[in-house]
Amino acid sequence: MPKFKLVSDYKPKGDQPQAIRALNRGLDKGMKHQTLLGITGSGKTFAMANAIAHIQKPTLIISHNKTLAAQLYSEFRGFFPENAVEYFVSYYDYYQPEAYIPQTDTYIEKDSSINDEIDRLRLKATSSLMSRDDVVIVASVSCIYGLGSPDEYKELLVFLEKGEEITREEILKRLVSIQYERNDIDFARGRFRVRGDTVEIFPAYSEYAYRIELFGDEVERITQIDPLTGKKITDCKKAIVYPAKHFVTTPFRLERAMKSIEEELRERLAELRSQNKVLEAQRLETRTKYDLEMMAEIGYCTGIENYSRHLSGRLPGTRPWCLLDYFPEDFLLIIDESHQTIPQLNGMYNGDISRKKTLVEHGFRLPSALDNRPLKFKEFERLMPPTIYVSATPGPYEIEKSEQIVEQIIRPTGLIDPKISVRPTKNQIDDLVERIKKRVKNKERVL
């Protein structure tokens, strides 16, 4: 039984049948790079969906902006209604990164507004990758930015089964350790509430909540409920709750990370003081010690991602974990509008590093903050599985890399591009009015 089931009223037409056959042959032969060169309106998305249905592998589709990603997400949900089609883009509605302007001695604090629904969809994407193998994720280039370790993310999930022996306190302790917050009044995503021997959990990535009913120290019943009305939706044999944030760690690893941060702080302070940078040293010491206090108290601090290298135990200079690490080894990558997406992927690292270097030099961050970054393009290339580039105008990178370029020129509708005539600007309004009158006379319309 195929995992990916393509549902569509359309049948391949125009250039689609030969393009689909050629792409599928390329995938079967193990081609690492292919390009689908298709004009606007030729049905490239349908050809992509057919390639996924043929290869039957989890797929990552990268688009160069949120709007196009949302459009693709909507289309692929229509093509694969029985599979997990997810959306992974930056969750900021507004984002002002932390920065320092030495010329005017201006420090700009990080300011952002997080879109709650997009945050839910991001967490849903990673939880789907952990729990199923029929996943298509439509992402923007934010997928190459750092995330927490996939191993820790999977290791820290809370698994509850009907009939399991576990105390209420143990359930609560586990939920708090994966960044869930207790709130008995305002029940929202990433929170849980307790009523006697009943624990209700609202997973950070779900639209529904779980109700866990205990009898003594045994899980008596698990039901999925509507978080607003509390109405039962269905009975469950088990409940799997993934962490509420992508950056989570165990108490042991947190303790180890804090020692490592303290050690780096000592070394950096000695370095700054030896250069007579007293202000920078004081600034760094105050900030880092405050962050360490927050970690010790609540296991989290604002901007904890800047300490991600310590938290994941990575070596200096090593690449961060990202969405691609959450995929199994064998997956398919499709880069949409590759002539624009590839240059974006290429430029992400340089823009990020120049801003952070200034922060490190002036004592706002530890040098390890430089390792909280997007992937360098070479690192991204090393993670690339078999890849299909999709574009009407492929760039030099795709053309050079591709083992075959598949053309999709004839539209399924058979329509061709209208003839374009360029007219002088002189008397353009009179000319336009005259032409409109001709069309109106024939009961036609003008755009």
Q: What are the tens digits of pLDDT across the range 106-130? A: 888 887 788 889 999 999 999 999 9
**Phi and psi based region of residue 38 (left: phi greater than 0; alpha: psi -120 to 50; beta: remaining):** beta
Please check whether residue 285 is in contact with residue 265, taking contact to mean a CB–CB distance below 8 angstroms: yes
What whole-number distance in Å separates Cα of residue 333 and Cα of residue 401?
Answer: 14
Name the packing angle between helices 44-55 and 66-79 (round to 10°): 60
| Residue 413: per-residue pLDDT | 66
Q: What are the tens digits of pLDDT across the range 248-267? A: 778 888 899 999 999 999 99
Please state the φ and ψ torsions of residue 234, each to the nearest 5 degrees: -160, 160
Q: What are the tens digits of pLDDT across the range 378-432? A: 999 999 999 999 999 999 999 999 999 999 887 776 666 678 888 888 899 999 9
Give me 258's structure tokens. Answer: 């804090």
Q: What is the mean pLDDT of the chain?
A: 92
May I ask the CATH architecture of the domain 158-241?
2-Layer Sandwich (3.30)
Give me 64's structure tokens. Answer: 């160069």
Q: Which CATH number fits domain 16-150+318-408: 3.40.50.300, 3.40.190.10, 1.10.357.10, 3.30.470.20?
A: 3.40.50.300
What is the rounded average pLDDT of the residues 131-153? 92
The helices-and-strands tally (H runs, E runs) of the chain is 14, 19
Q: What are the tens digits of pLDDT across the range 224-236? A: 999 999 999 999 9
% of residues, the chain, pLDDT over 70:
98
| Residue 155: per-residue pLDDT | 86
| Residue 270: per-residue pLDDT | 96
What is the rounded average pLDDT of the residues 320-330? 94
Give bridge partners of residue 37 from the DSSP assignment. Answer: 391, 407
Please check whether residue 24 is in contact with residue 54, taking contact to mean a CB–CB distance below 8 angstroms: yes
Q: Which CA distances in Å does 219 have to 159, 161, 191, 213?
A: 12, 7, 20, 6
Q: What are the tens digits of pLDDT across the range 184-199? A: 999 999 999 999 999 9
Strands (E), 132-174: 135-139, 158-161
For the chain, the structural domain boundaries read 16-150+318-408, 158-241, 251-311
| Residue 415: per-residue pLDDT | 63
